[in-house]
Structures are given as structure tokens and as C-alpha cells.
Amino acid sequence: MKLFLDDSPVESQTVEGDTIEAAVRHVQSEVCTPGRLVVRLRFDGEDVSEEALASTLQKEVSSCSRLELFTSTKQALIGEAMNQASASLHETEETCRQVAGLLTEGKTQEGMQAFSDCLTVWRQVHRAVLQSIQMLDLDVDAMTVGDEPISAIIARPKEVLLQVREALRVDDHVLLADLLQYEFSDVTNQWFILIARIREEAESAV
């Protein structure tokens, strides 16, 4: 197997392990420059998607002719994730306003489809924020944003979604529109501040 790290060849005979995962772990601990993390794989010329990552890591080293690994710093990785999260929230903020308008106009089916798309984006943002907090080893109960612990801000979307679920249960689209227009807007603003704080923590991390 030919092995490359950030486009530079690595002596593959020095890599220990029978699986791709073992090889990646070995490169991470023994070859990578301190402070850099393996963030992307290319298996025989094909970029490995997030969905295919788990199965690819379990493959035998002998099944791969050319394995390319790419690294980044923790700061850059989190910064990029938070920039994407912020951009995604801006999009959902506008979409939520549109959903509220559609529900008010009685266009329930169209509005609920758009709301479903919003929830998908929120889940992605939520996952990115939690992963970044974990990477930075932040104490979510001790750290505050606007005099409120980060843990409370992280829990806020779930609280609003419980109200949304109740509005859906009783088929109250007027209440649902109000929740999307006002409650979700407040939560989104808090999360913009939270994301900016995480970005700052990443930039100051050693």
C-alpha cells in the first residue's frame, strides 16, 4: 500500500496494524506533527464520505493500493465548523419566518415540509456545536454566555421543540407560527452568540 500524508509519501512499512483504522491511528500518533489531526481520507483515489467512513476504517490494509490522509489543526477545524453552523442558522432563521407566514396563510403542508428541513439543519448545527465543545473540553456548566450557562443555551432548542410538538398535537397552527416567529428567533440569536464564543475559544486554544 502506498501511503500519503498531506500529499507527502510516508514509508508504509513503518505503519502498524491490519486495518485502515489501525493505520490511521498509527499515523496520527507517530507521524503527524503535534497539533494536527487526520480529518479526511482518500481510498484508492476516492474521497471517503462521512457515511462511508466507518465501513472504510474496518477494511484490511491489504485491500487498499493507495491511502491518502489529510490533516488540519483543531482551531481550523472548529473555526470552519462554526462558520458553517452560523451560515446554516442564518438560512433557517429566514426559513422559519417563511414557515410562519405559510402556516398563517393556511398553507399547512407546504409550511410543514419547510419546517422539517429546518429541523434537519438544526440537528446538524447541534451536532457540530457539541463536537466542538467536546474537542475544546469546555465546561458547559461553568462557562456562561450572556449570564447564562452554556448548558442551558444548548438545551433551549429542545424546550422550544417540545412546545412545537404540543402545538402540532392539538393542531394549533397559529401557536406554531408564533413559536417559529418569536421563540425560535430568540433561540437562534442565543446560538449565534454561543457559536461566536466557541470560535473565540478555539482561536485562543493552545
Read off the pLDDT of residues 103-149 as tens digits, 9 standing for 90 and up: 888 888 888 888 888 888 999 999 999 999 999 999 999 998 888 89
Residue 151: CB atoms within 10 Å: 14
What 3-state DSSP class applies to 172? coil
34 pLDDT above the threshold of 90:
no
Can you give the residue range of the structural domain that contains 150? Answer: 76-204
Are residues 7 and 97 both part of a single domain?
A: no
Of the given ranges (8-17, 47-56, 80-89, 150-159), which has the lowest mean pLDDT? 8-17
Task: Report the number of distinct structural domains present in the chain.
Answer: 2
pLDDT band at 50 (very low <50, low <70, confident <90, very high): confident
CA distance 17 to 30: 13
Residue 16, pLDDT score: 65
Are residues 30 and 94 both part of a single domain?
A: no
The alpha carbon dihedral of 102, 103, 108, 111 has a sign of positive
Are residues 86 and 45 both part of a single domain?
A: no
CA distance 43 to 157: 38
Decide if 70 is inside a domain.
no
Residue 153, pLDDT score: 93
161 pLDDT above the threshold of 90:
no
Are residues 99 and 190 both part of a single domain?
A: yes
Are residues 49 and 81 both part of a single domain?
A: no
Decide if 71 is inside a domain.
no
Residue 116, pLDDT score: 87
Are residues 80 and 9 both part of a single domain?
A: no
Are residues 113 and 141 both part of a single domain?
A: yes
Q: Choose one of 42, 64, 86: the last residue of a domain.
A: 64
Are residues 126 and 169 both part of a single domain?
A: yes
CA distance 180 to 116: 12
* Average pLDDT score over residue span 32-49: 92
Q: Are 8 and 49 in contact (CB under 8 A)?
A: no
pLDDT band at 197 (very low <50, low <70, confident <90, very high): very high
85 pLDDT above the threshold of 90:
yes
Are residues 130 and 178 both part of a single domain?
A: yes
CA distances from 67 to 5, 47, 52, 101, 206 (A): 9, 10, 15, 50, 30
Decide if 183 is inside a domain.
yes
Decide if 69 is inside a domain.
no
Q: Looking at the chain, which runs of residues are DSSP E strands?
A: 2-5, 8-10, 36-43, 46-47, 66-73, 144-145, 148-149
Dmax (CA) for the chain in angstroms is 66
CA distance 44 to 21: 15
The torsion region of residue 41 among left (phi > 0), alpha (psi -120 to 50) and beta comes to beta
Are residues 114 and 190 both part of a single domain?
A: yes
CA distance 67 to 42: 6
CA distance 27 to 69: 9
Are residues 128 and 50 both part of a single domain?
A: no
Q: Choose one of 43, 64, 85: the last residue of a domain.
A: 64
Give the residue from 109, 93, 103, 158 showing the smallest Cα distance to 130: 158
Residue 128, pLDDT score: 94
Q: 73: exposed, middle or buried (C-beta count within 10 Å: 0-12, 13-18, 19+)?
A: middle
Decide if 200 is inside a domain.
yes
Are residues 113 and 197 both part of a single domain?
A: yes
182 or 11, greater pLDDT: 182
Decide if 91 is inside a domain.
yes
